[in-house]
Amino acid sequence: MRAFLDEAGLHEYAVRSLGRAMRTEAELRRLMAARVEPGERGETVISAVLARLKKNGYLNDAAFAETYARLRHENEKLGQRNVRQKLQQKGVASHIVNETLEARYGGTDEEALARQHLERKRIRKPENEKEAARVMRRLVTAGFSTGVIYKILRQWDVPDETLAALENVGDEPHEE
């Protein structure tokens, strides 16, 4: 077991950690908690390091959320629901998530984004019910609304019987 870090050592550890990957305050706090002694003394050191990092511009959850959402929107073509869920999992405050997603996805055509996602992933028109279910799961996982997904499937001339069978596909656990 390694020795607990003091404030200077913890700051250095935090800066190196931020140099390897963008992180939220909650993620960094979790990482640092393992490096300091448990209890109030450790929390005091963590709080001091976090305050210093914020003051120096190394840690900013709003900037993290904007960059994260921009990359998922522009590069991965992911839907708003997926990005919201991931930001919340990373510990970004709800008001920051809401502001970021409104700014990033406010004027986005969700159907066009879903089509870009399908194209990016090279997903073709389904030929049978099993493939239609797979497309539906992929789009739900990517964060698109069921309304948009059904619209795309209808435009692909997926039979109504198949669409009816897909009613609960997005809610079921699955393997891919």
Query: pLDDT category, 168, cuts 50, 70, 90?
Result: low
What is the chain's alpha carbon radius of gyration, rounded to the nearest angstrom? 21
Per-residue pLDDT at 108: 94
**Residue 164 structure tokens:** 């009816």
Residue 135 and residue 169 in contact, taking contact as beta carbons nearer than 8 Å: no
Cα(90)–Cα(157) distance, integer angstroms:
39
Model confidence at 174: pLDDT above 70: no
pLDDT of residue 1: 61
Cα dihedral sign, 161-164-170-173 = negative
CA-CA distance, 65 to 4, in Å (whole number)?
31
| pLDDT number for residue 175 | 42
Residue with tokens 């590069």: 75
Those residues with Cβ within 8 angstroms of residue 143's Cβ, 6 or more apart along the chain or in another chain: 78, 79, 80, 81, 82, 83, 84, 85
Q: What is the pLDDT of residues 111-130, one digit of tens each?
A: 999 999 999 999 999 998 89
